[in-house]
Amino acid sequence: MAIKDGQIEISVPRDRQGTFEPQLIKKGQRRIKGFDEKVISMCARRMAVREIQGLLKDVYAVMEEVREWQARPLDPLFP
């Protein structure tokens, strides 16, 4: 599986006191803990590269849907 490394532009919100701390990927973090081990584990179970790619695409799509749901406007009277 070929992975191309390159530059990614990330828009980081700013606050006046400089106290913003990202939740998913910390400042300066380049790797997600345990990610490589999970991919290696899938390879060890004889999953095809295309299957792994499809699984990762599905996971990231679900994460995006969750973020949209979390950011939705709430009704004025929310129980």
Sequence spans of domains, the chain: 35-70
10: burial class by Cβ within 10 Å (0-12, 13-18, 19+)? Answer: exposed
Question: Each residue of 2-58: pLDDT tens digit?
Answer: 446 777 777 766 777 777 777 777 777 777 788 889 889 999 999 999 999 998 888
pTM of this structure: 0.46
55: burial class by Cβ within 10 Å (0-12, 13-18, 19+)? Answer: middle
46's tokens: 């004889």
